[in-house]
């Protein structure tokens, strides 16, 4: 037997009994005649003691042990004279009688500590050692718990988990598929699912009523930071529901997770904001509403005063940074540099200091009198001591830049507090996005989303103005997930494909089976999907989803530990009837 | 709102209140002035009534509705005069006041009934309709419940579910991988995992202690019946364990599932049989032990009596079929034909009838006296009225044929009773299998399985005689899963790869990261993996795993519903730098 207890469970109540423990050596300390070893496993750390005077051989054996050795010991549980309040087992230590080295360890390439000296790439290459570190371990245990609680909630609410296939069919629409050559059917390929969207709709047509799955999805994108080629989705679908039913169900899920995982009670209904509202007031469709500082459109107020930049701008808007009225010239210059960075892309920034004495000082004093500036301040609900930051230009771009500036100011003002959460629903998205270059339309969510007012919407001569029965769950500036009420009618689905520029043949070839399924009694249905990695990262207070994925890939889609992707044997290629082209 | 209740929940207690239901039309019956509709959803069936005299228009509307239409109705819950004891809602019916057709349905290509008129291929093509049938629905709901209970048991026992990657690295060893071309890394490929074996071992090295995952695995095999290119595994691993610890943990899981899912209590310890014992007594390593009829080796008894076939045979063995002594000539001839089929592959079959009067009559009376035959009967524990069936030849082949004959006789005697379960562990498997043609060795389980007596075993000059620390869970003749205690030592693992014919370079190229990981403190560990599809099929009393997979592929690996695999756009191939060869 390797152990009678784990390294995290012994307490003062266990004193004066014998125990056997196995684990990893976190640390060895030699203090005169005593040697101390911190023994670690998943559950905690227990201190072991060896006394030179009592057993010289044993103590010398212990002294030769290095970090990360795997050992098994037997000894008596004794009370520590020097209690350690930082660990759960801090009241006791083990007076070791027997010591067995189960496996030696070379010196690890970086320290297995909360703050390690290992660089990103090295930790990826030795991920199995990085996974030993507490912050990583905590993230994965949190992930496990969240998975369990999600399943518990959905099961209790009548959802059935159904596994949908991974080897499906490629559809050129949308992001790129990963494909899988078929050896048995020469020249044919499976594709890995970008989501189980079509299958979950088929399950509704099959009468499964409430479906869910925690499932891997795949997207062959040009990698951006914090994107993974494979990611995990909480995928759900319900029949005989309207938008409100779906939102209620998953608001319940979010509240359940907040409560069970973080012990964070949310007793109010999540606010519901329209897409247009979000764009106008926050500059994006996933606002962080832990703080106000909303964007104000002051176009009407500032035009026609002879300031050419404003007069020629499509849009002028600003935010009010509370209590920043005393920003120095240098700090303001830094802000200007910030918004001029390519990631923000603004041309400039105009400020108005609302001094504590009630006077106003701006970078456009030449064009605007104090009375005029006071009107801006009033429009932005500013009070003496505040700072107004104003930008202008093409509307969408300016709002986007203001949105980034708003978050930056909030960070400086420490308004985005860790451990505080402000969830909301964003609704009434546009159904379609117009590609201004080609004049064609893309589905904003996906081609199965229904228009808000049914069939007649699709006759709108300006399709970009149609709203969708779609909703997103946003928490602290992150889109955690979203969904829609789907089309469940062959004719409407055909019309939608037409709007998206599919020929009838293309629609049939790719989605014929779904359109066919609609003919045999499709119920009204809708659902949602949530980014599991992102949600866990949010709850784990991680910046990157990589922190909560056991074996993530790097930004180039590589697994540095197993060295993948890699070349195939020529014989494998031959069997697949494939050749790599020059 | 689409419904206030579902179609399975209304009872006599709900009488005289109003309800709104939505669902599918199972059946429409017109009886004089009354029309009855059976309305179906996932939860059950509710009878709707329409009365011509009360509301002619509504009743006529109802009469035009076809099977599988999706409708929404509102009406009063009334007591049925003609109660239906076969359904849970059989005491009530709905006196419909309002009827809305939510979606029409064409006549489905086959009937949505427990016993359908649809053929296999048609049902695969219209899987979304086949999924509406009760037997299929029951199987998938059972699957969901089993998944939940497995997670509950493992979570309670301290296991953490960790997701391992799907885009990994191809290893030529073992079955063929499905591969995934990388667009970003020209000429390189990912592979889909045949199992998360290596990753779960790395998680043990990372100190996760107890891991599990219910996970899809992929194997590009030439399809055999009841094999799927993608299948689901319950994958588990534990640290600081010996064989007995792992077996106890998963015997507990099996008992938990029997109890919670089937309400079938197993209070005894599962029998543990050695591989050699199973081969000798049952002719295979996954015996159905719901019945006896074990195989007896009578080689010693029957040789040297001048019967050339026996004298020249490596092995002679037989089984005793109880109470079959009165089999007619015709029935015996049929048995001979049965064993001569290519699937069994025997040359012939010798019988001895142990008549009720105590006399013996055999097909080899020329060579063996009654006294001799009586010895056979005693050796096989036969009693008057029984039938002895004897086969001879090369030992392994003969045992295999006897094993099939044993199951056939058990079926005839109805000894393999539905609803009865006889689980057991098979242990002490050979570590390696010798390829008699090439003289090379393959791992019987996989190359990470440890030998029973540690390092010294690997020095055995006859590697085929080494036993493994491996175990299988067998229920009713199905191998439900199995596992092993793994090697956790670089040197031993290297020696194992050597035995399997890997060069050092090949071992490094494919498993270098694992061997490297062993150097940094690998704990003793072991685990198991169970075929989830097979286990669900067993509990569902299904012959085929296809019955319990929502969207299975056919024997050619095709999904007939979505028509996959399929050809890619030339542009997709080009992006992947691939060409299909002639």
- Over residues B188-198, the pLDDT tens digits come to 999 999 999 99
Residue A2 lies in a domain: no
Residue with tokens 């911190």: A38
What CATH number has the domain bearing residue B514? 3.30.930.10
Q: How confident is the model at residue B158 (pLDDT cuts 50, 70, 90)?
A: very high
| pLDDT score of B223 | 67
Question: What is the DSSP code string of B480-539?
Answer: EEEEEEBP--HHHHHHHHHHTT--HHHHHHHHHHHHHHTTBTPPPEEEEEEEHHHHHHHH
B179, B222, B523 member nearest A70 (Cβ):
B523
Residue A538 lies in a domain: yes
Distance CA B78, CA B99 (A): 17
CB B108 within 8 A of CB B27: no
**3-class state of residue A16 by DSSP:** coil
Contacts of A485 in chain B (CB under 8 A): none
A24 touching chain B per CB within 8 A:
yes
B497 and B571 belong to one structural domain: no
Contacts of B3 in chain A (CB under 8 A): 240
Distance CA B366, CA A476 (A): 91
| pLDDT one-digit tens code per residue, A105-163 | 999 999 999 999 999 999 999 999 999 999 999 999 999 999 999 999 999 999 999 99
CB B411 within 8 A of CB B162: no
Distance CA A389, CA A317 (A): 8
Instruction: Indicate if ipTM > 0.85.
Output: yes
B460 and B500 belong to one structural domain: yes
A231 touching chain B per CB within 8 A:
no
How many Cα atoms within 13 Å fall on the side-chain side of residue B326?
4
A70, A206, A565 member nearest B190 (Cβ):
A565
CB A377 within 8 A of CB A354: yes
Q: Calculate the CA A451 to chain-centre distance.
A: 28
A367 and A482 belong to one structural domain: no
**Chain A, 28-57: which have a CB under 8 Å from a chain B CB?**
40-43
- Of A387, A412, A437, which residue sits at a domain end? A412
Residue B3 lies in a domain: no
- The counts of H helices and E strands in chain A are 16, 24
Give chain A's end-to-end CA distance (angstroms, integer): 58
Q: What is the span of the domain harbouring residue A303?
A: 291-412
CA distance B62 to chain A (A): 16
Residue with tokens 């050809």: B567
Contacts of A138 in chain B (CB under 8 A): none
Q: How confident is the model at residue B226 (pLDDT cuts 50, 70, 90)?
A: confident
Distance CA B238, CA B207 (A): 10
Nearest Cα residue to B318 out of B384, B368, B276, B373? B373
B160, B520, B521 member nearest A140 (Cβ):
B160
Residue with tokens 């082949």: B397
Residue B476 lies in a domain: yes
Tell me the CA distances in angstroms from B308 to A403, B318, B376, B392, B398, one per residue in order.
94, 18, 18, 11, 17
How many Cα atoms within 13 Å fall on the side-chain side of residue B536?
31
HEC string of B34-65 equals EEEEEEEECCEEEEEEEECCCCHHHHHHHHCC
Please, which residues have CB within 8 angstroms of residue B132's CB and are 6 or more apart in sequence?
Answer: A206, A207, B24, B112
Nearest Cα residue to B470 out of A324, B212, B457? B457
Nearest Cα residue to A527 out of A194, A317, A250, A217? A250
Q: How confident is the model at residue B30 (pLDDT cuts 50, 70, 90)?
A: very high
Helix ranges (DSSP H) in A217-327? 243-262, 275-282, 299-302, 308-311
Tell me the CA distances in angstroms from B331 to A30, B345, B351, B366, one per residue in order.
83, 19, 12, 22
A470-475 and A478-485: which strand pairing? antiparallel
In this predicted structure, the answer to whether residue B175 has a pLDDT above a threshold of 90 is no
Nearest Cα residue to B468 out of B499, B437, B490? B499
Give just the sign of the alpha carbon dihedral B395, B400, B404, B406: positive
B168, B550, B576 member nearest A564 (Cβ):
B168
B227 and B143 belong to one structural domain: yes
B272-274 and B423-427: which strand pairing? parallel
In this predicted structure, the answer to whether residue B68 has a pLDDT above a threshold of 80 is yes
Q: Tokens for B398, please give them.
A: 């003969």
User: What does the pLDDT profile of chain A (582 residues) look like in tens digits?
Assistant: 999 999 999 999 999 999 999 999 999 999 989 999 999 999 999 999 999 999 999 999 999 999 999 999 999 999 999 999 999 999 999 999 999 999 999 999 999 999 999 999 999 999 999 999 999 999 999 999 999 999 999 999 999 999 999 999 988 667 899 999 999 999 999 999 999 999 999 999 999 999 999 999 999 988 677 789 999 999 999 999 999 999 999 999 999 999 999 999 999 999 999 999 999 999 999 999 999 999 999 999 999 999 999 999 999 999 999 999 999 999 999 999 999 999 998 989 999 999 999 999 999 999 999 999 999 999 999 999 999 999 999 999 999 999 999 999 999 999 999 999 999 999 999 999 998 888 889 898 889 999 999 888 988 999 999 999 999 999 999 999 999 999 999 999 999 999 999 999 988 888 899 999 999 999 999 999 999 999 999 999 999 999 999 999 998 999 999 999 999 988 899 999 999 987
Question: B34 preceded by cis ω (within 30°)?
Answer: no
What stretch of H or E contains A27? strand A18-31
- Of B103, B121, B146, which residue sits at a domain end? B103
A236 touching chain B per CB within 8 A:
no
Distance CA B111, CA A420 (A): 55
Contact check, Cβ <8 Å, B140/A162: yes
Distance CA B370, CA B358 (A): 10
Please, which residues have CB within 8 angstroms of residue A220's CB and are 6 or more apart in sequence?
Answer: A175, A176, A177, A178, A229, B183
**Chain B, 294-333: which have a CB under 8 Å from a chain A CB?**
none
Contacts of B188 in chain A (CB under 8 A): 565-567
Report DSSP state, residue A52: T
| pLDDT one-digit tens code per residue, B414-455 | 999 999 999 999 999 999 999 888 888 989 888 999 999 988
Give the start-end residues of each E strand in A349-455. 350-354, 360-362, 387-393, 423-427, 432-434, 441-443
- Of A489, A506, A524, which residue sits at a domain end? A524
B151 touching chain A per CB within 8 A:
yes
A160, A206, A581 member nearest B128 (Cβ):
A206
Nearest Cα residue to B449 out of B528, B510, B391? B528
A180 touching chain B per CB within 8 A:
yes
- Burial-class residue A511 by CB neighbours within 10 Å (0-12, 13-18, 19+): buried
B579 touching chain A per CB within 8 A:
yes
Neighbours of B268 (CB within 10 A): 7
Percent of chain B with pLDDT over 90: 90
Residue A158 lies in a domain: yes
Tell me the CA distances in angstroms from B54 to A93, B33, B72, B95, one per residue in order.
85, 10, 19, 10
Q: Tokens for A225, please give them.
A: 């930071």
Crossing angle of helices A197-205 and A504-517, in 10° steps, is 40
Contact check, Cβ <8 Å, A129/B520: yes
For A185, the closest chain B residue by CA position comes to B565
Q: Tokens for B107, please give them.
A: 């006549």
Residue A56 lies in a domain: yes
A405 and A506 belong to one structural domain: no
Q: Tokens for B102, please give them.
A: 């939510």
Contact check, Cβ <8 Å, A568/B167: no
| pLDDT score of B173 | 66
For B171, the closest chain A residue by CA position comes to A568
A72, A230, A522 member nearest B167 (Cβ):
A230
B241 touching chain A per CB within 8 A:
yes
- Burial-class residue B63 by CB neighbours within 10 Å (0-12, 13-18, 19+): middle
Contact check, Cβ <8 Å, A521/B208: no
CA distance A283 to chain B (A): 33
Give chain B's end-to-end CA distance (angstroms, integer): 58
Distance CA A532, CA A215 (A): 9
A354 and A458 belong to one structural domain: no
What CATH number has the domain bearing residue A314? 3.30.1360.30
B473 and B429 belong to one structural domain: yes
Nearest Cα residue to B384 out of B409, B355, B364? B355
HEC string of B245-276 equals HHHHHHHHHHHHHHHHHHCCCCCCCCCEEEHH
| pLDDT score of A10 | 98
**Chain A, 480-519: which have a CB under 8 Å from a chain B CB?**
488-489, 513, 517-519
B72, B163, B521 member nearest A24 (Cβ):
B521
A147 and A259 belong to one structural domain: yes
Please, which residues have CB within 8 angstroms of residue B48's CB and are 6 or more apart in sequence?
Answer: B21, B36, B37, B38, B39, B62, B73, B75, B93, B94, B96
What CATH number has the domain bearing residue A58? 2.40.50.140
Contact check, Cβ <8 Å, A180/B180: yes
Contacts of B229 in chain A (CB under 8 A): 167
A92-103 and A44-51: which strand pairing? parallel
| pLDDT one-digit tens code per residue, B537-578 | 999 999 999 999 999 999 899 999 999 999 998 888 999 999
* Number of domains, chain A: 4
Residue B308 sits at the vertex; the CA angle it makes with B302 and B313, to the nearest 5 degrees, is 65
Tell me the CA distances in angstroms from A508 to A489, A505, B28, one per residue in order.
15, 5, 33
Q: Calculate the CA A348 to chain-centre distance.
A: 31
Residue B22 lies in a domain: yes
B144 and B172 belong to one structural domain: yes
What stretch of H or E contains A97? strand A92-103
A516 and A543 belong to one structural domain: no
Contacts of A6 in chain B (CB under 8 A): 209
B562 touching chain A per CB within 8 A:
yes
CB B80 within 8 A of CB B91: yes
Task: Lay out the sheet containing A315-321: strands in order across.
Answer: A296-297, A315-321, A387-393, A350-354, A360-362
Crossing angle of helices A532-539 and A134-156, in 10° steps, is 120
Residue with tokens 């319990």: B548
A156 and A174 belong to one structural domain: yes
For B132, the closest chain A residue by CA position comes to A206
Residue A224 lies in a domain: yes
| pLDDT one-digit tens code per residue, B275-312 | 999 999 999 999 999 999 999 999 999 999 999 999 99
B165, B551, B577 member nearest A551 (Cβ):
B165
Residue with tokens 């390439």: A109
Contact check, Cβ <8 Å, B169/A564: yes
A161 and A47 belong to one structural domain: no
């Amino acid at each position: 037997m390797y152990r009678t207890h784990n390294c995290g469970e012994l307490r003062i109540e266990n004193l004066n009994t014998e125990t056997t423990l196995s684990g990893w050596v976190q640390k060895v300390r030699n203090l005169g005649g005593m040697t101390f070893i911190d023994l670690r496993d998943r559950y905690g750390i227990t201190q072991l003691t060896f006394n030179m005077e009592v057993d010289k051989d044993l103590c010398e054996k212990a002294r030769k042990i290095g970090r990360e050795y795997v050992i098994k010991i037997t000894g008596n549980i004794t009370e520590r004279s020097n209690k350690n309040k930082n660990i759960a087992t801090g009241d006791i230590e083990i007076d070791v009688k027997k010591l067995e080295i189960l496996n030696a360890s070379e010196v690890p390439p970086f320290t297995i500590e909360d703050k390690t000296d290992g660089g990103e790439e090295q930790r990826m290459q030795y991920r199995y050692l990085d996974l030993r570190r507490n912050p990583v371990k905590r993230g994965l245990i949190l992930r496990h718990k969240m998975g369990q609680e999600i399943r518990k909630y959905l099961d209790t609410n009548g959802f059935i988990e159904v596994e949908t296939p991974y080897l499906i069919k490629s559809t050129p629409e949308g992001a790129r598929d990963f494909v899988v050559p078929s050896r048995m059917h020469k020249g044919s390929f499976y594709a890995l699912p970008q989501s189980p969207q079509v299958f979950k709709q088929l399950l509704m047509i099959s009468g499964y009523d409430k479906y869910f799955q925690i499932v891997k999805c795949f997207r062959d994108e040009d990698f951006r930071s914090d994107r993974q080629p494979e990611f995990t989705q909480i995928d759900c679908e319900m029949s005989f529901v309207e938008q409100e039913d779906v939102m209620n169900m998953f608001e319940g899920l979010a509240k359940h997770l907040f409560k069970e995982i973080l012990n964070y009670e949310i007793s109010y209904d999540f606010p519901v904001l329209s897409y247009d509202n979000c764009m106008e007031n926050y500059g994006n469709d996933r606002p962080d509403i832990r703080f106000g500082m909303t964007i104000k459109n002051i176009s009407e107020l500032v035009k026609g005063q002879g300031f050419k930049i404003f007069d020629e701008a499509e849009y002028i808007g600003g935010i009010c940074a509370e209590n920043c009225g005393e920003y120095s010239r240098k700090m303001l210059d830094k802000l200007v540099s910030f918004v001029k960075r390519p990631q923000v892309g603004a041309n400039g920034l105009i400020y108005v200091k609302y001094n504590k004495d009630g006077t106003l000082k701006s970078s456009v004093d030449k064009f605007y009198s104090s009375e005029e500036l006071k009107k801006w301040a009033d429009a932005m609900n500013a009070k003496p001591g505040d700072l107004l930051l104003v930008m202008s230009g093409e509307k969408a771009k300016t709002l986007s830049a203001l949105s980034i500036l708003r978050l930056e100011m909030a960070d400086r003002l420490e308004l985005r507090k860790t451990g505080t959460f402000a969830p909301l629903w964003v609704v009434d998205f546009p159904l379609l996005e117009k590609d201004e270059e080609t004049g064609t339309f893309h589905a904003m969510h996906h081609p199965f989303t229904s228009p808000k007012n049914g069939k007649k919407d699709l006759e709108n001569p300006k399709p970009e103005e149609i709203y969708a029965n779609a909703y997103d769950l946003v928490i602290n500036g992150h889109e955690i997930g979203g969904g829609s009420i789907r089309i469940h009618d062959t004719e409407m689905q055909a019309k939608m494909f037409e709007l998206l520029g599919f020929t009838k043949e293309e629609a049939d070839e790719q989605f014929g089976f779904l359109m066919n399924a609609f003919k045999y009694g499709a119920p009204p249905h809708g659902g949602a999907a949530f980014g599991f990695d992102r949600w866990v990262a949010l709850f784990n207070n991680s910046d990157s989803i990589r922190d909560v994925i056991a074996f993530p890939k790097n930004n180039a889609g590589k697994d540095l530990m197993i060295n993948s992707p890699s070349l195939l044997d020529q014989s494998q290629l031959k069997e697949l009837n494939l050749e790599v082209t020059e």
